[in-house]
Amino acid sequence: MNSPAASAVTAPVELDQIDQGIIDLLREDGRMPYRSIARELGVTENTVRARVKRLEDSNTMRVVAVTDTQAAGFDMLLAVGVQVEGRTPEAVAEDLARIPEVFSVNVAVGNHDVEILVMARDPASLNELLAETLGGIPGVRRLTPALAVDVLKNQPDWVPFYDA
């Protein structure tokens, strides 16, 4: 369980070349030992350890595992627009966010009140997900699914850092 201090937003950290190098190396291999990072960057292991701690404590960087959804058997990706009736979009969005196959939930302004991204293993599980699971949430008036037929970019490790 995260403490309030651990989840608090802090001031942005100014990144130097060492910080950026640590981030770049951990993007390539999130389990790279600090000793190897230090050797690559020409600094001490203690410097790497302290920098990683500072980057994590400031919420500037987080090292996480990313699942390859296709390798896990989820071959169907859908963007689904959700029209809401009888409840607030925020309340419906909170319910949608609890569903494991839903990996992105956004309250929106436009044609849909909520927009979600979902994964399904096959047409049968997709039907169940749409008709029973998503359609069964109180306040869901209409679902507008769009099946991705060709994913040109799915970059789960994207962060707004630019090489200088």
Q: pLDDT means per 10 residues in the chain (164 residues)?
A: 46 86 89 94 96 91 70 78 97 96 93 94 92 96 91 66 48
Predicted pLDDT at 151: 75
Domain annotation for the chain: domains and CATH numbers: 7-57 (1.10.10.10), 76-147 (3.30.70.920)
- For residues 113 and 82, the answer to whether their CB atoms sit within 8 Å is yes
Half-sphere exposure of 120 (CA within 13 A, CB side): 20
Neighbouring C-beta atoms of residue 86, cutoff 10 Å: 10
124: which residues sit within 8 A by CB, 6+ positions away? Answer: none
Q: How far apart are CA 57 and CA 150, in angstroms?
A: 38
- For residues 118 and 78, the answer to whether their CB atoms sit within 8 Å is yes
Neighbouring C-beta atoms of residue 122, cutoff 10 Å: 11
